[in-house]
Amino acid sequence: MGVEFINGDVRRTTACDVCKTVFLPEWPLGRTTCSGCGVPLCEGCVPEHTCRQQSLGSHDRRRQEFIERLLQGGAR
């Protein structure tokens, strides 16, 4: 995720979890989300994606969820 500055306005952007391509409204690209973890993906990157939640232990997963909640709450 990131931010986009257009004419003084700030918009939140999302990017593919695998290739990091930023999804912009003006540039329609085939996109989807992972059914397991919900991260945004390019349609072509779906086979290469592995869910982070599956590769992390329970402590690491809770830590990652906490960090994501902080980042979402702080960016408002």
Domain edges within the chain = 2-74
DSSP H stretches of helix in the chain = 52-55, 58-74
Q: Which pLDDT value is given to residue 53?
A: 56
Q: In the prediction, which pLDDT does 62 show? A: 80
Q: What is the pLDDT of residue 22?
A: 86
Tokens 């906490």, residue? 66
pLDDT at 56: 56
Given a cut of 70, is residue 68 above it in pLDDT?
A: yes
The pLDDT value recorded for residue 6 is 65
The model's pLDDT over 3-50, given as tens digits with 9 standing for 90+, comes to 656 667 777 778 888 998 888 877 767 889 888 888 899 999 999 988
Closest by CA to 50, choosing from 61, 66, 62, 34, is 34
63 token code pair: 């830590």
**What pLDDT does residue 57 have?**
67
Question: How far is 20 from 32, CA to CA, in rounded Å?
Answer: 14
CATH value of 2-74 in 2.60.40, 1.10.10, 3.30.60, 3.10.450: 3.30.60
C-alpha dihedral, 21 to 13 to 3 to 49, nearest 10°: -40
Q: Checking DSSP bridges between strand 40-42 and strand 22-23, what pairing results, if any?
A: unpaired
